[in-house]
A and B are shown apart, each in its own frame.
Chain A
Amino acid sequence: MIDAAPPPLFPHRHLLGIRDLSPADIKSLLDRADAAVAISRRHEKKTSALRGRTQINLFYEASTRTQSSFELAGKRLGADVMNMSVASSSVKKGETLIDTAMTLNAMRPDILIIRHASAGAAALLAQKVGCSVVNAGDGTHEHPTQALLDALTIRRAKGRLAGLTVAICGDILHSRVARSNILLLNAMGAFVRVAAPSTLLPAGIRQMSVEVFPTMADALRGADVVMMLRLQRERMAGAFVPSVREYFRYFGLDAEKLKVAREDALVMHPGPMNRGVEIASEIADGPQSAIQEQVEMGVAVRMAVMEALLDPRRNPADGVAA
């Protein structure tokens, strides 16, 4: 991955959220990720960029997709990867987070990947450990690698991010993916629209530099990208929306609703999908769908992030806990 002209030194030790990144930071990560895509498509996929480094995946929420993506990314970079799956039942919400972190820290890992149900958990961890921390999703706060992989997918399909119109549809209120994407897309000069039932919009959404639309038809008109969000099952039965069928009727993406978007509009979903709830199968599996591409880009983006954070040019003393 490191060519003759090495990429600039990434100016952060942790990746906790898109909010901390400048447009230049984002661009450099996407450029690195582009190179990583090529590695993943080779016959020989293993590099030595992180040889001898230790990566721990600490997942307090089950996530096959994200965890395996980080695991594979680490392995392709040559790191030693350990998975700490914390069964959510055995850990009383958050209570042992710091203790677990301190224990892991004592094993001297180089990078910790954390997924946790509480917003701010990754930032808390980063204060307490001596290694780099990557936020793999903290509550409804941020999921920065998801936004980066979405951006990479869009950039590779459309050649750019600036000036594109991206419609984000569904459960914005509970979505860390939406927050990270709104931040990233705005930073890179895209126009962001959101569409959701009003019960699933966060307070202050209109001050988040997005255009809010009450219907999919308005939000999707002329859009370059349609990003669907997952609706959690427990939120469908009367608490936020009355029923699955009513939700799908107004906010599920089907061929009819997609018609008003640009003909070459890209359809995305962070997964896992609820087919027939937020997205119809014909669309998910259709020609405009970039959903499989997103998964591939996920590995590349995570390789890029970890390589950037663990750049050997960084002062090794930075990473030593007191």
Chain B
Amino acid sequence: MSVTVFQNARIVDPSRGLDEVGAILVEGKKIAAAGAAAHNQGTPEGAKVIDCGGKTIVPGLVDGRVFIGEPGAEHRETIASASRAAAAGGVTSLVMMPDTDPVIDDIALVEFVLRTARDTALVNVFPAAAITKGLEGREMTEFGLLREAGAVAFTDGRHSIANALVMRRALTYARDFGAVVAHETLDRDLGAGGVMNEGLFASWLGLPGMPREAETIPLERDLALARLTGGAYHAAKISTGLAAAAVARAKADGADVTAGVSINHLSLNENDVGEYRTFFKLSPPLRAEDDRLAMIEALRDGTIDIVVSSHDPQDVDTKRLPFADAADGAIGLETLLGAALRLHHNGDVPLIRLIEVLSTAPARLFGLPGGTLKPGAPADLAVLDLDEPWIVREADIRSRSKNTCFEGARLQGRVLRTLVAGRTVFEA
């Protein structure tokens, strides 16, 4: 069995609350030791030694919300191209959304994704299956069979379930299989075709506004149903202070509730839309600055459990349109870490908490291996230079689609090397 030692590194492992100088010993596909202890163990004979020169090693990121175009829209992204982007971004596992064509609402699709990932992907790809058939918000999918086939969670992806009874039954039934129901909430009637955050800025641009309540009213409903059913509910992508407060109340009541936020809603606000820049058209829309600050606070105080890229590749055919007609979404696998590290560099969120919400917590939430550097865990890790500055350039993007919100952005901190199951899948 091949043995590699990463020496002279700062080891940050939120799963053990560890942030110390040491080494990591990788044996085959697994971590044999990590931390100061590993450093003291010395180097086994025949081991390959890599001197990290004081750089940082973290468990590979686990991205809990990734949209991929395969099957159905391979021109936007394939499982292989998404995995290359992930590897470059230090993401070693991703949860793939069921919004494909056909929809991942059947075991055959789960098997297709797992097989394609095994044959073509550089990182671990875990499919999430639809809650309802065809993402139509009506009939439940086969939670048991899908789970056995390998679906790690249930979500209707970009779609929001309008019917409270459907949601109640999904939460109740999923509980029998220990499955998380992840939901992005949007009341389409109240949203009234809104395409950006409701407020002065949208009004001047002449764009229909999306009120915060279009997100929070169905969220409050879901949280009530989570209390009622005892089911595991994950608010997939909240964007407002109101939503964070609702989640905090449900948690205080003891409901089995978690929440996620996209890196975009931590990094950007409605002003970034500028002059109808469609790459900044997201769902939920980028909010006002006070909501962005509320997201950071909720991340710090534990109301928000995970940070996702919400990677959503869109091509020119869906983005080079008038703003209201353009598709929602932005890519993010390659910039997730760099953008998140801004919060570390400006002192908003401690590094170990950031790695927790990017890796350890999502792995735990979705029951995935990884997210830890404990001995015996898969050797999924990233070697980082926390300080190296770089500029995001379209030409460097590995994703098949280029719809990034960070074009030209100056980020600090980048991935030097990514390992998945002991194998180097990316090296800067």
Do B203 and A119 have beta carbons less than 8 Å apart? no
Q: Output the least CB separation between A221 and chain B (Å).
A: 26
Contacts of A120 in B (CB 8 A): 205-207, 275-276, 322-324
Stretch from A33-41, A77-85, A201-209, A275-283 at the B interface: A201-209
Give the residues from 91 to 150 in chain A that come closer than 8 angstroms, CB to CB, to chain B. 93-95, 97-98, 116, 118-121, 123-124, 138-142
Query: Is the pair A118, B324 in contact by a Cβ cutoff of 8 Å?
Result: yes
Across the two chains, which residue of chain A brings its CB closest to B273?
A120
Q: List chain B residues, Cβ under 8 A from A32.
A: none
| Chain B residue nearest to A16 in the complex (CB) | B275
A179 at the interface (CB under 8 A from B): yes
A202–B204 alpha-carbon span in the complex (Å): 9
Q: Which B residues are in CB contact (< 8 Å) with A179? A: 204, 206
Asked if B200 contacts A119 (CB within 8 A), the reply is no
Min distance, Cβ A131 to any Cβ of chain B, angstroms = 19
B276–A119 contact, CB under 8 A? yes
B198 / chain A contacts, CB cutoff of 8 Å: 203
Nearest chain A CB to B321 CB, angstrom units: 5
Complex Cα gap A94–B207 (Å): 15
Question: How far is the CB of B191 from the nearest CB of chain A, in Å?
Answer: 13
Interface positions of B from 322 to 347, Cβ below 8 Å from A:
322-325
Complex Cα–Cα for A16 and B209 (A): 21
Question: Which of A94, A118, A140, A203 is in CB contact (< 8 Å) with B199?
Answer: A203
**B-chain residues with CB within 8 Å of residue A98 when the two chains form the complex:** 320-321
Given A94-B322, A97-B322, A121-B322; A203-B209 close (CB under 8 Å)? yes
Q: Interface readout for B190-223 with A: 1 if CB under 8 Å, 0 if not?
A: 0000000011111111110100000000000000
**Given the contacts A204-B199, A208-B200, A142 and B206 also touching, CB distance less than 8 Å:** yes
Q: Are the C-beta atoms of A119 and B206 separated by less than 8 Å?
A: yes
Give A237 to B324 CA distance when docked, in angstroms. Answer: 25
The chain B residue sitting closest to A202, CB to CB, is B203
In the complex the two chains form, is B324's CB within 8 Å of A203's CB? no
CA distance A95 to B209 in the complex (A): 22
Give A291 to B204 CA distance when docked, in angstroms.
Answer: 26
B118 shortest CB reach to chain A, Å: 38
With a 10 A CB-CB cut-off, give which of B198, B200, B204, B209 has the most chain A CB atoms: B204
When C-beta atoms are compared, the residue in chain B nearest to A119 turns out to be B206
CB of A193 within 8 Å of the partner chain: no
B242 to chain A, nearest CB (A): 16
Given A203-B199, A208-B200 in contact, is the A119-B325 Cβ separation under 8 Å? no
A204/B206 in contact, CB under 8 A: no
Number of interface residues of A (CB under 8 A): 26
Shortest C-beta distance, A125 to chain B (Å), equals 9
Give A59-71 as 1s and 0s: 1 = Cβ < 8 Å from B's Cβ atoms. Answer: 0000000000000
Chain A residues lying within 8 Å of B323, measured Cβ to Cβ, are 118-120
Q: Which residue of B lies closest to A125 (CB)?
A: B322
Task: Specify which of A19, A123, A204 is in contact with B203 (CB 8 Å cutoff).
Answer: A204
Mark out the residues of chain B between 272 and 317 whose CB falls within 8 Å of any chain A CB in the assembled complex.
Answer: 275-276
CB pair B199–A119 under 8 Å, yes or no, is: no
Give bound CA distance, A238 to B156, whole Å. 33
Chain A residues 145-188 with CB under 8 Å of chain B are 176, 179
**In the complex, residue of chain B having the shortest beta-carbon distance to the beta carbon of A92:** B325
List of A residues within 8 angstroms of B203 by Cβ: 202-205, 208
Q: Which residue of B lies closest to A138 (CB)?
A: B206
> What separation, in Å, do the CA atoms of A94 and B323 have in the docked complex?
10
Q: Which of A95, A142, A207 contacts B200 (CB 8 A)?
A: A207
Distance in Å: Cβ of B325 to nearest Cβ of chain A: 4
Q: How far is the CA of A177 from the CA of B205 in the complex (A)?
A: 13
Question: For the complex, what is the distance from the CA of A179 to the CA of B200, rounded to whole Å?
Answer: 12
Separation of A249 and B204 alpha carbons in the complex (Å): 29
Bound form: Cα–Cα A141–B275 in Å: 11
Interface centre among B275, B321, B322, B324 (most CB of A within 10 A): B322
When chains A and B are docked, how far (Å) is the Cα of A121 from the Cα of B207?
Answer: 12
**C-alpha spacing A142/B280, complex, angstroms:** 21
Q: How far is the CB of B1 from chain A (nearest CB, A)?
A: 56
Q: How far is the CB of B271 from chain A (nearest CB, A)?
A: 13
Q: Which residues of chain A are near B202, meaning CB under 8 Å?
A: 203
Q: Which residues of B lie under 8 Å from residue A140 when comparing CB positions?
A: 206-207
Chain B residues whose CB sits within 8 angstroms of the CB of A95 once the complex forms: 321, 325
Q: Are A139 and B321 in contact (CB under 8 A)?
A: no
Do A119 and B322 form a contact, CB below 8 Å, given A124-B276, A203-B199, A204-B200? yes
The residues of A that contact B205 with a CB separation of less than 8 Å are: 119-120, 141
A192-217: CB near B (< 8 Å → 1, else 0) gives: 00000000001111011000000000
Collect the chain B residues with CB atoms within 8 Å of residue A202's CB.
203, 209
- By a CB distance below 8 angstroms, the chain A residues around B324 are 118-120, 139
Contact B206 A139 (CB under 8 A): yes
Quick one: which of A98, A119, A204 has the most chain B CB within 10 A? A119
Q: Smallest CB–CB gap between A86 and chain B, Å? A: 14
> Of all chain A residues, which has the CB nearest B326?
A94
Complex interface: chain B residues within 8 A of A19 (CB): 204
Known pairs A204-B199, A207-B200; A141 contacts B206 (CB<8 A): yes
Q: Is the CB of B276 within 8 A of A97?
A: no
C-alpha gap A19/B372 in the complex (Å): 53
Residues of B within 8 A of A205 (CB): 203
Given A141-B206, A179-B206, the answer on whether A118 and B200 have CB atoms closer than 8 Å is: no
Contact sample, A vs B, 25 pairs, CB 8 Å cutoff: A19-B204, A94-B325, A118-B324, A119-B206, A119-B276, A119-B322, A119-B324, A120-B207, A120-B322, A123-B276, A124-B276, A138-B322, A139-B324, A140-B207, A141-B207, A179-B204, A202-B203, A203-B202, A203-B209, A204-B200, A204-B204, A205-B203, A208-B200, A208-B203, A208-B204
Query: Would you list the 9 A-B pairs with minimal beta carbon distance, nearest first?
Result: A204-B200, A141-B206, A118-B322, A120-B276, A202-B203, A119-B206, A140-B206, A94-B325, A121-B322
Query: Given A119-B322, A140-B206, 20 other A-B contacts at CB below 8 A?
Result: A95-B325, A119-B205, A119-B206, A120-B205, A120-B275, A120-B322, A120-B324, A121-B322, A124-B321, A124-B322, A139-B324, A179-B206, A202-B203, A203-B199, A203-B202, A203-B203, A204-B200, A204-B204, A205-B203, A207-B200
